[in-house]
C-alpha cells in the first residue's frame, strides 16, 4: 500500500514478539543497500516499514520516493518511473523527470509491485540488473543511484506459478524479505498503538480520548480486517465524536462493541484463561477444558471472518471435525461459511 494517511507515524509500535522481530530485521537490513521485499495485508503498514528502513540507512539524507504501481495506468507507468522527453507521445508537451531520477541518492519505494504488468516487469528487471534506464523517447542512458524497496499484499510466488509475475524479477526483489504481521496477530500492541495515534491526533489539533477497560477488551477481541489503517480511522472518528472523553463499549461501532462476526455474537465464558493455577476450591476440569476449546474456536472464527475451512486450518483440524464442535457448542451461527 502507499498509505498517505499513515505517512510519518512512528512504526512499528508495541511490545509484541512480532514487532520486536520486525524491528530487528529493519535494523539489520537498513545499513546495507540490499533490495527488500515487504509483504503483508493491506493497511498493515508496509510503507511505514519502508520509511523506517530509509530513515535508518546511510541514504537518510536523500529522498524517499514512493510510487504505487497498482494505481497508475500501465500505459503511463513507464513514463512515471523513467520520465519522458517532449513529444515522446501524444500529450507529452514537456520533458518530465521520472521517479528513478527523483530518487537519485535515496530510496525508491515500489508499492503494490505485484500489480505491475509483465512488459513493465521486463523493463524494471533490466534497471535492477544494470542500474541503467532511458527516458521514454530518449536514446540516452542514465544511471540509477537508488535503493529499491518493494511491497505487495499479493502472494508473488503464486503469481509466478500462474505466469502472472516473472520469476527472475521475483528473485531480484526477494533478496531480503520482510513480512509485516497483521494487527490480529499482535493484539497486545493495541494500547501502545492507540496511545501513539491519540498523541498524533492531538498534534494535528484533535481532542484526546481514552478507552475504558471494557472498551479496550472489545478492541482486543476484534479481528481488524483493515489492520492499522482501520484502527487509525476509528481513533480519529471517536476523537471527533467524543472529544476529551473516556470511550465506553457502547460508543464503539457495533461490529466491535458487540464482538459480532457475520451478524451473530460469539460469546466467550467470562474468566476462562489458560492458567495452570488450581483454585483452593478445585475446578471442573472437563468444563474448564471445554471453555478453553470454545474460546479458541471463537478466536479462530473471528480471525477468519467466520470461514470454517480457514478456521479449521488455524486449529489444525479437519473441517468436518470443526463443524461437529461448532454443533456441540452451538456456535454454527458464528460461522459465515460452513461449506
Number of domains in the chain: 3
Q: Does residue 177 sit in the same domain as residue 196?
A: no
- The model's pLDDT over 117-148, given as tens digits with 9 standing for 90+, comes to 999 999 999 999 988 988 888 888 888 899 99
Grid coordinates representing 338 are: 460452513
Q: Does residue 145 sit in the same domain as residue 100?
A: yes
Domain membership flag for residue 278: no
Q: Return the residue matching grid coordinates 456456535.
A: 331
Cis peptide before 12 (omega within 30 of 0): yes
User: What is the domain-level CATH number for residue 310?
Assistant: 1.10.10
What's the rounded Cα separation, in Å, for the pair 324 and 158? 32
End-to-end CA distance of the chain: 32
Residue 122: partners with Cβ closer than 8 Å, 6 or more residues away: 166
| Of the residues 181, 208, 230, the one at which a domain ends | 181
What's the rounded Cα separation, in Å, for the pair 229 and 146? 28
Domain assignment of residue 306, given as a range:
285-334
Residue 105: partners with Cβ closer than 8 Å, 6 or more residues away: 59, 62, 63, 145, 146
C-beta separation of 42 from 1 below 8 A: yes
In this model, does residue 271 exceed pLDDT 80?
Answer: no
What confidence tier does 263 reach under pLDDT thresholds 50, 70, 90?
very low
User: What is the domain-level CATH number for residue 241?
Assistant: 1.10.8.60
| Of the residues 181, 213, 243, the one at which a domain ends | 181
Residues counted in the chain: 339
C-beta separation of 72 from 118 below 8 A: no
| Of the residues 181, 216, 240, the one at which a domain ends | 181
Mean residue pLDDT of the chain comes to: 85
Question: pTM surpassing 0.75?
Answer: no
Domain membership flag for residue 264: no
State residue 279's pLDDT score.
Answer: 66
C-beta separation of 200 from 5 below 8 A: no
What confidence tier does 314 reach under pLDDT thresholds 50, 70, 90?
confident
Domain membership flag for residue 339: no
Q: Does residue 218 sit in the same domain as residue 98?
A: no
In this model, does residue 66 exceed pLDDT 90?
Answer: yes
Amino acid at each position: 500500500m502507499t498509505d498517505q494517511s499513515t505517512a510519518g507515524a512512528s512504526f512499528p509500535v508495541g511490545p509484541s514478539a512480532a514487532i520486536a522481530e520486525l524491528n530487528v530485521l529493519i535494523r539489520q537490513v537498513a545499513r546495507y543497500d540490499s533490495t527488500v521485499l515487504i509483504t503483508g495485508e493491506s493497511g498493515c503498514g508496509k510503507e511505514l516499514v519502508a520509511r523506517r528502513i530509509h530513515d535508518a540507512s546511510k541514504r537518510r539524507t536523500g529522498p524517499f520516493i514512493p510510487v504505487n504501481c497498482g494505481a497508475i495506468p500501465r500505459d503511463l507507468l513507464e513514463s512515471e518511473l523513467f520520465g519522458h522527453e517532449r513529444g515522446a507521445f501524444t500529450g507529452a508537451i514537456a520533458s518530465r523527470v521520472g521517479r528513478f531520477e527523483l530518487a537519485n541518492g535515496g530510496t525508491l519505494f515500489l508499492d503494490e509491485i505485484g500489480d505491475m504488468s509483465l512488459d513493465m516487469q521486463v523493463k524494471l528487471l533490466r534497471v535492477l540488473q544494470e542500474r541503467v534506464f532511458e527516458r521514454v523517447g530518449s536514446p540516452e542512458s542514465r544511471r540509477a543511484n537508488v535503493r529499491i524497496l518493494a511491497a505487495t499484499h499479493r502472494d508473488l510466488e503464486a503469481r509466478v506459478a500462474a505466469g502472472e509475475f516473472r520469476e527472475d524479477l521475483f528473485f531480484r526483489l526477494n533478496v531480503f524479505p520482510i513480512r509485516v504481521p497483521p494487527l490480529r496477530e499482535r493484539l497486545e500492541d493495541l494500547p501502545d498503538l492507540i496511545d501513539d495515534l491519540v498523541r498524533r491526533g492531538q498534534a494535528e489539533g484533535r481532542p484526546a480520548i481514552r478507552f475504558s477497560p471494557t472498551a479496550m477488551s472489545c478492541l482486543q477481541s476484534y479481528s481488524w480486517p483493515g489492520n492499522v489503517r482501520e484502527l487509525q480511522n476509528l481513533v480519529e472518528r471517536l476523537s471527533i465524536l467524543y472529544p476529551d472523553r473516556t470511550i465506553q463499549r457502547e460508543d464503539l461501532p457495533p461490529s466491535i462493541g458487540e464482538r459480532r462476526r457475520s451478524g451473530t455474537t460469539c460469546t466467550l465464558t467470562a474468566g476462562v484463561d489458560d492458567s495452570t493455577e488450581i483454585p483452593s476450591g478445585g475446578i471442573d476440569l472437563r468444563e474448564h477444558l471445554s471453555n478453553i476449546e470454545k474460546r479458541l474456536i471463537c478466536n479462530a472464527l473471528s480471525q477468519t471472518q467466520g470461514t470454517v475451512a480457514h478456521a479449521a486450518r488455524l486449529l489444525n483440524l479437519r473441517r468436518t471435525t470443526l463443524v461437529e464442535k461448532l454443533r456441540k457448542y452451538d456456535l454454527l451461527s458464528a460461522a459465515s461459511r460452513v461449506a
